[in-house]
């Protein structure tokens, strides 16, 4: 089982206006243009017609237009309006904000968490519509690799990505899988554990993956919490460990580890990543003591 259908999506949630985490739509499109060279079948979920046009132009430029499907979403908020409404109420709950140590983080915003949650919905939807039996579905973030943070040559993406991930949902993790209680992780914003930028599942488990993630989201909402996909995946894994295969990795490196061995790393990239992580973790520890 090596065949991989790639799924991604982009919705402008106003991140260009986030005070400390600004990213414009144009920047995301530039980032997408690097990895869009992958020769796999690509399913892209979009709401904006102009962005859909740009996505098509990019894939056409690489000669991959015929291997690209753009799924138009009329209203992304209606995919699961119930959990979004619950999280909007939590976003406006001063007790929730006071509980969090890092109050400016995007994980405190309902719409940010929602568009990350529905990644697995898109995997499930694409698996039903476009993926053959005994095939695999890979989610790749639209802004994957942030425009060249890790890999040297964007042309290295010009290959047919194939790899046998087995019969479980494959998640990649950066730091060791924490055993801390969920309420502590939500409060302290612990260093990244499970990564959300790349996920792979067999077609047969995509619908299950979406359902258990939605259940995890509702469990958090029941106790007045919300968070992004990384925490959701951790909770889903704890609740259903038999469904998952966890692979040690780092930001964006999974595609090189699993089928893309030819992709060249930037020189000293690993050292830079480690330094960045150490600084970020030190800042979090200082803030968590306050």
Quickly list DSSP for 2-56. --EEEEEEE---SGGG-SSS---HHHHHHHHHHHTT--S-EEEEES-HHHHHHHH
Going by pLDDT thresholds of 50, 70 and 90, the confidence category of residue 23 is: low
Among residues 238, 62, 66, 86, which one has the least CA distance to residue 159? 62
Q: Which residues pair with 202 in a beta bridge?
A: 136
Rounded to whole angstroms, the Cα distance separating 29 from 166 reads: 32
Q: How confident is the model over 177-231, as pLDDT tens digits? A: 989 999 999 998 766 689 999 999 999 999 999 999 999 999 999 999 999 999 9
For residue 282, what pLDDT band results from cuts at 50, 70 and 90? low
CA angle 11, 175, 224 (to 5 degrees): 55
Residues 6+ apart with CB under 8 A from 289: none
- Percentage of residues in the chain having pLDDT higher than 90: 79
Token readout for 51 is: 């962005």
Q: What is the pLDDT of residues 236-259, one digit of tens each?
A: 999 999 999 999 999 899 999 999
Fold classification of 4-288 is Spore Coat Polysaccharide Biosynthesis Protein SpsA; Chain A (3.90.550)
Structure confidence at residue 166 as a pLDDT band (50, 70, 90): very high
- Looking at residue 275, its pLDDT comes to 53
Instruction: List the domain boundaries for the chain.
Output: 4-288
Beta strand spans in 64-159 (E): 68-72, 136-140
Separation CA 286–CA 110 (nearest Å)? 26
């Amino acid at each position: 089982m090596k065949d991989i259908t790639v799924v991604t999506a982009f919705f402008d949630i106003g991140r260009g206006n986030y005070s400390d985490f600004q990213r414009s739509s144009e920047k995301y499109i530039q980032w997408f243009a690097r990895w869009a060279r992958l020769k796999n079948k690509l399913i892209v979920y979009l709401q904006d017609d102009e962005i859909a046009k740009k996505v098509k132009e990019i894939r056409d430029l690489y000669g991959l237009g015929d291997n690209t499907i753009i799924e138009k979403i009329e209203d992304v908020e209606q995919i699961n309006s119930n959990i979004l409404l619950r999280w909007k109420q939590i976003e406006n709950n001063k007790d929730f904000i006071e509980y969090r140590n890092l109050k400016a983080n995007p994980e405190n915003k309902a719409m940010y968490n929602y568009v990350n949650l529905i990644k697995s919905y898109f995997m499930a939807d694409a698996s039903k519509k476009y993926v053959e039996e005994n095939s695999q579905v890979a989610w790749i973030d639209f802004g994957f690799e942030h425009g060249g943070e890790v890999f040297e040559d964007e042309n290295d993406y010009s290959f047919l990505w194939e790899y046998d991930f087995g019969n479980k949902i494959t998640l990649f993790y950066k730091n060791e899988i924490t055993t801390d209680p969920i309420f502590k992780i939500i409060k302290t914003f612990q260093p990244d554990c499970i990564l959300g930028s790349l996920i792979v599942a067999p077609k047969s488990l995509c619908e299950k993956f979406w359902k258990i993630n939605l259940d995890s989201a509702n469990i958090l909402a029941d106790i007045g919490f919300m968070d992004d996909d990384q925490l959701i995946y951790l909770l889903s894994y704890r609740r259903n460990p038999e469904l998952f295969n966890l692979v040690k990795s780092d930001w964006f490196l999974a595609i090189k580890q699993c089928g893309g061995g030819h992709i060249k790393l930037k020189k000293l990239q690993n050292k830079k990543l480690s330094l960045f992580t150490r600084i970020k973790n030190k800042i979090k520890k200082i803030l968590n003591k306050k």
